[in-house]
């Protein structure tokens, strides 16, 4: 598995962050589930391990909430796949969640302090 980091180095996703990441991934247009998973992994430089089973349940949850919509379509390599796209509601939610997350990350960063001091 050349492109993937050893399992130990990966961080299991924090509760609630998967939804945010999914919404973010869909900003650039419709994607299918497998594409979303790959993209999260690649963008996070393989830091995140996306449990595919959880991903699909999260997708379903977001769809039920009306933040994303889904449609069956055909992938680049001509395979049938279910494509998800952001709804207006989803876009608003993304903005809200992203700002929440940034504040949280900053706050945690402040508390933890610069990286060198830890060692």
Partner 1 sequence: MFWRRKRSVNDFQEEIRAHLELEAEALKQEGLSESEARLAAKKAFGNVLGAEERFYEKNRLRWLDEFSQDLRHGLRMMRKAPGFTAAVVVTLALGMGANTAIFSLIDAVLLRSLPVQAPEQLVFLAAAGPKGRGPAPPYPCFERFRTQTNSFSGMAAFTNTDVGIRFDGPIEEVDAARVSGDYFRVLGIKPAAGRLLTPEDGKMDPPVAVISYDFWQRRFGGSPSAIGHTFKWDGVMGGRLFTIVGVTAPEFHGLLPGRTDDLTIPMDVTDEMLKDTGSWWFSAVARLKAGANPEVARQETDRIFQAFMDEFPVPAEVRRNNFHHLELAPASQGLDELRRRFSKPLWALMTVVGLVLLIACANITNLLLARSAQRAREFALRVAIGAGRGRLFRQLLTETGLLFAAGAASGLLVALWAVRGLTSFFAGGARPIQLEVHWDWRVLGFTVGASLLASLLFGAAPMLRGLRSDPNNAMKDGGRSTMSRGGGRLGQLLVAFQVALSLILLVGATLFLRTLQNLHQQDMGFNVSRVALVGVHLPHDSYPEAENRTALWDRLLPEVRSLPGVEAAALSSMTPLDGNGRGVAFDAPGFQSESREAHSIGLITASEGYFRTLGISLLRGRDFTDRDRAGTPYVGVINESARKHFFGSKDPIGTDVVMNKRTLRIIGVVADVMQEDLRRAPRRFLYISIRQPMDMGARQTLSVKTAGDPELVLPTILARLRSLGPDVHLLRSGTLARQMDEWLIQERLISTLATAFGLLALLLSAVGLYGVLSYSVARKTPEIGVRMALGAMPGQVAWSILRKTLAVIALGLAVGIPVSVLVSHAAESMLFGVTPADGLSQLIAAALLGLVAMAAGYLPARRAGRVDPLTALRHE
d(CA 92, CA 18): 17
Stretch that binds partner 1, among 13-21, 31-39, 93-101, 107-115 (CB under 8 A): 31-39
Q: Which of 30, 44, 51, 87 binds partner 1 (CB under 8 A)?
A: 51
d(CA 29, CA 24): 10
Nearest CB to partner 1, comparing residues 80 and 117 = 80
User: Can residue 75 be called a binding residue for partner 1 (CB under 8 A)?
Assistant: yes
CA angle (81, 50, 107) in 5-degree steps: 130
User: Can residue 80 be called a binding residue for partner 1 (CB under 8 A)?
Assistant: yes
User: Can residue 116 be called a binding residue for partner 1 (CB under 8 A)?
Assistant: no
User: Can residue 3 be called a binding residue for partner 1 (CB under 8 A)?
Assistant: yes
d(CA 18, CA 40): 9
């Amino acid at each position: 598995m050349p492109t993937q980091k050893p399992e130990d180095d990966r961080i299991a996703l924090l509760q609630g962050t998967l939804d945010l990441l999914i919404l973010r991934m869909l900003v650039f247009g419709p994607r299918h589930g497998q594409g979303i998973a790959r993209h999260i992994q690649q963008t996070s430089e393989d830091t995140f391990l996306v449990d595919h089973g959880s991903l699909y349940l999260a997708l379903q949850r977001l769809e039920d909430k009306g933040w994303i919509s889904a449609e069956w379509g055909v992938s680049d390599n001509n395979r049938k796949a279910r494509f998800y796209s952001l709804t207006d509601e989803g876009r608003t939610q993304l903005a809200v969640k992203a700002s929440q997350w940034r504040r949280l990350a900053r706050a945690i960063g402040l508390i933890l302090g610069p990286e060198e001091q830890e060692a």
